[in-house]
Amino acid sequence: MCFAHSATASDSLHVQAGVGPEAAQSFAQLADSGGLGAVEVPGSGTPETLAAPRGERILDGYGRVLHNRWNRDLEPAVTVRPGEEIQLLCRDALDIGDQARTLTPDGTMTLDLGRIHPLTGPVHIEGAEPGDILEVEVLDVSPLVDFGYTTVSPALGLFGTLRPESLAGLAPWLEASQLSDPSPGPVPSALPEGQPFGSGAAYVQLFHFERGQSNGYATFVGSDTGTRARIPIAPFLGIMGNAPMRKGMYRTFPPSFSGGMGGNIDVRQITPGSRLQLPVYAEGALFSAGDGHMAQGDGEISGTAIETLMSATLRFQVIKNTVICAPRAIVPAADPTQLRMSTDRAALGYYVTTGAGPDLMEDVKNAVRDMIDWLVTDQGISMHEAYALCSVAGDLKISELVDLPNWLVSMTLPRGIFEGAA
């Protein structure tokens, strides 16, 4: 069975955005005049707002799914020359589009996970050959719509997991099922059939911003308590990668199955002004991208950031006869959030929690649990709201290794995101 194109599964669940006749005519006139150099792909469409400069070439992965698996045998959707700019239009990570506006927690349990990570590409870069480096310069990343979403699901994230937890029934507050209920213990109704080891009550949180907005804040109104917060945004693409070394069809994660060619790397620092370097394993590199995030904390702990439909303007260069084993990048800032925070909000400081011990994953869980507990106590928000905020604005770090075999993990979250914080 071919999974390269997955636009046929669960179509009834997905509401796709369209444009009216007047908008379509306007874009057609722009294309005829050379102002919108769209790359024609059968079945493609055009969103209502484009943030790219006039004259850029556009590859439309918004109007249809081009592919959502890595495969070195896919035909390129477009060919570009080194130094040439192109804009990629990308769907959201769960490929639910406008459905996110009305998606209920129960609805997240019926989404077709086979549709995860629709990608825009492949882009063939002239002159790129195996043994080279493809350098991707990020010129612009901007949302195509005015909303984004974060979900909590038993299939994703730090606490919602398909991984067996043999002690889950004995340890208090171990999994995401306990985030929905102030009393300890699992929530049986949250357990999906066929996932006996999965737990976690589903949850959806919307965020709002402006189309084309690439700085400032996204607004948060907690789905449970109505608490208001403003999340500093730093748009980026969670997935950027080249075709893999080996033949075959591969999911977008993990990123290093075939020589570190990129993939679902979710490095939030790769914002506009960055230069990402990826090893080339196939003729023309066959670059693809997607998974737009308006904001994300280091760790993306719930499994989703602020997911949205995104455009990205990129420029490619080829570094010949140079081999690297994994993605590298030069980025504008180690913490792009700090660049977005206003002086008065940044002056309110950060929450910091820690987890220590010989197991890094348990250390992470302990640091996050303590952060969620503190936010619930200090800000009066629900556990689900705290979990979502940790995913989009909380940063995990390995703070020290000197006490081996015990490591210390910390999580930070800016206090200034909350309205009324002082």
Q: Which pLDDT band holds residue 202 (cuts at 50, 70, 90)? A: confident
Average of per-residue pLDDT values in the chain: 80
Per-residue model confidence (pLDDT) at position 22? 47
Q: What is the pLDDT of residue 155?
A: 67
340 has a pLDDT exceeding 50: yes
Please report, rounded to a whole number, the percentage of residues in the chain having pLDDT higher than 90.
59
Mean pLDDT throughout 139-162?
A: 83
Q: Which of the four pLDDT bands, split at 50, 70 and 90, describes residue 251? A: confident
Closest by CA to 204, choosing from 97, 291, 103, is: 103
Q: What is the mean pLDDT of residues 313-329?
A: 96
For residues 100 and 147, the answer to whether their CB atoms sit within 8 Å is yes
List of E strands, 112-259: 120-125, 133-143, 147-152, 203-208, 217-221, 228-232, 236-241
Q: Is the pLDDT of residue 97 over 60?
A: yes
Q: What is the mean pLDDT of residues 123-130?
A: 98
Q: What pLDDT, in 10s, does the model give residues 32-50?
A: 444 334 444 444 444 554 5
Neighbours of 269 (CB within 10 A): 16
pLDDT at 115: 87
Q: Return the closest-CA partner of residue 124 out of 293, 258, 318, 319.
A: 318
Q: Read off the pLDDT of residues 357-378 as tens digits, 9 standing for 90 and up.
A: 999 999 998 999 899 889 988 9
